[in-house]
């Protein structure tokens, strides 16, 4: 299951349980989970993703490539991560 779908499903389960606990109609749990995802997306919440670090695109010089890789490692150690939007933007094919 994709990360986005898993998040939506977990939200739906949470809302269903919370609504049932309060004795309310839990059939709106799906709508609440989707609305919550859009709200979180508007608040710039992102998903942390795993990916390989890109190769040095600028040169074939081994010294520069080594410096590039060291800089990448410094960023990772400092806490920089790859992210993806919580809501995948629809593309129009262009």
pLDDT given for residue 93 in this prediction: 52
State the pTM of this model. 0.63
Sequential pLDDT tens for the chain (94 residues): 688 889 989 999 999 999 999 999 888 998 999 999 999 999 999 888 887 777 777 778 888 888 888 988 888 888 888 888 888 776 555 5
The label of the residue with tokens 């010089």 reads 61
Where in 19-93 does DSSP place strands (E)? Answer: 46-49, 82-85
Which residues does 48 contact at the CB level (< 8 Å), separation at least 6?
Answer: 81, 82, 83
Q: Beta strand pairing status for 82-85 and 46-49?
A: antiparallel
């Amino acid at each position: 299951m994709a990360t986005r779908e898993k998040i939506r499903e977990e939200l739906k389960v949470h809302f269903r349980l919370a609504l049932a606990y309060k004795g309310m109609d839990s059939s709106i749990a799906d709508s609440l989970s989707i609305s919550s995802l859009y709200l979180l997306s508007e608040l710039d919440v992102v998903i942390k993703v795993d990916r390989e670090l890109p190769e040095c695109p600028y040169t074939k010089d081994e010294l520069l490539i080594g410096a590039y890789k060291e800089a990448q490692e410094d960023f990772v150690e400092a806490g920089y991560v790859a992210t993806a939007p919580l809501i995948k933007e629809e593309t129009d094919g262009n």
